[in-house]
A and B are shown apart, each in its own frame.
Chain A
């Protein structure tokens, strides 16, 4: 006779056996990277189970790890988006290797800065435009574009134009100038972004250049020769260019006197440090003189002992010493000059040896 409790128990057991347990027991906690939905399990494999049935064991391990991952995911804050429970995954913690570092944001160009300032939004224009002439959709820019004025097969010569002027050529030239201008602007933006120096050209072609622009263009053209304009002749009525060349900046005449003094004293100090403190020739001379002095003293002593002395030793000694000193200095100088300052010892040795 089955009791109610027995029935209930069996039902729960059946239900429980349908779903495997959501609790997982692991020795070492696996590392979870929820941003990448990644679980890294570093537990050692149970070799017995592994050898018994490889597939089943690996499958059970995978199942356990996925269970742990999902447990963690369910812990995140959920939101309901159109009948589905969604979870916002956090930032990934694993660093994926990159060949090159993440590129830096480019600084905004002049136009972009202006647009930001004025609040101008970009309006996306479609690529294709309806061309009335050819009655078809043509690209707005690029190959086979609509409204290409260089492709006109007939051009009306305007009333005030020179009859010998080639209007087709004129249009081609204008196009080339526009291309060059665009290229210049692009390169200038790049130079500005990389903070490299841009030569102050100011010669982007304009429709109607002003008098100053023409003058500037003239002077720049004059300078743009291999010898920097030294040999280009001046036109009969050409005026000298003002404000050319780099402006040198000087300190004000009545500036900071203390600072000036300090700077000057610094310069003097640097000069002093550069000069060698030990005057090699003087030192060598002094040594040689000392040696000669000692030698002459000894000779005098010896001379005093011997009965027949040869004349006044002093004068001779002085003369000899003077000459020897001179000769010694000469040799010392040569030695020093030849071998440089570092080898003073050798020079000394030389003097002694002589």
Chain B
């Protein structure tokens, strides 16, 4: 377990800021306690200070997880956000997509969101902007990347993709073994 180096922090924050922008500050500087990011076996964990101190007493091979896993660094040094980060992305998300009840199921199975399944979308979303996907009843379902900007979404045909799937809560079941 170690803190992130500067380069790693930069990569990580860049990825995060695609979804929550400036609000990363609220994750770092919390009024209700000191929380920190720690790297363990290439995964980034967001953990409160006192839990982290307890976890420091566990040896490296035996420690499985601590706090919340935000994602992991791949072998080539890129950062990949996991679905477990959704709890922290959803409240601070800048751009949101609401999905119709009929299209929820298909998104939760890992498919992209088509225009026919698109309920609402925040105004002035840029193309390839990181978005959080909600159901119509405001339950966060996962996150993705906007395939088209808001304006373009209005004009395209119903079978075109409006949001690329990145992670959904169905992964908790599908990827049970790999998530920590």
Contact = CB atoms under 8 A, between A and B. Distances in A.
B9 interface: yes
Nearest to A329: B151
A267 B10 CA distance: 7
Nearest to B151: A326
A197 to B, nearest CB: 23
B28 A261 contact: yes
A253 B37 CA distance: 10
Given A253-B38, A282-B124, A271 B52 contact: no
Nearest to A326: B151
A161 interface: no
Contacts of A271: 10, 13-14, 17
Contact of A250 (B2, B53, B155): B2
B29 A261 contact: yes
A282 B151 CA distance: 12
B56 A264 contact: no
A254 B53 contact: yes
Interface residues of A, number: 19
Contacts of A251: 2-3
Contacts, number: 52
Contacts of A255: 3
Interface in A233-281: 250-255, 257, 260-261, 263-265, 267-268, 271-272
B75 interface: no
Nearest to B3: A251
Contacts of A282: 124
A76 to B, nearest CB: 66
Contacts of A272: 22
Nearest to B22: A272
Interface of B: 1-3, 5-6, 9-10, 13-14, 17, 22, 24-25, 28-29, 34, 36-38, 49, 52-53, 56, 124, 151, 155
10 closest A-B pairs by beta carbon, nearest first, are: A250-B2, A251-B3, A253-B1, A264-B28, A257-B34, A253-B56, A267-B9, A253-B2, A268-B24, A261-B28
9 contacts: A251-B3, A253-B2, A253-B3, A261-B28, A264-B9, A264-B28, A265-B25, A268-B22, A271-B13
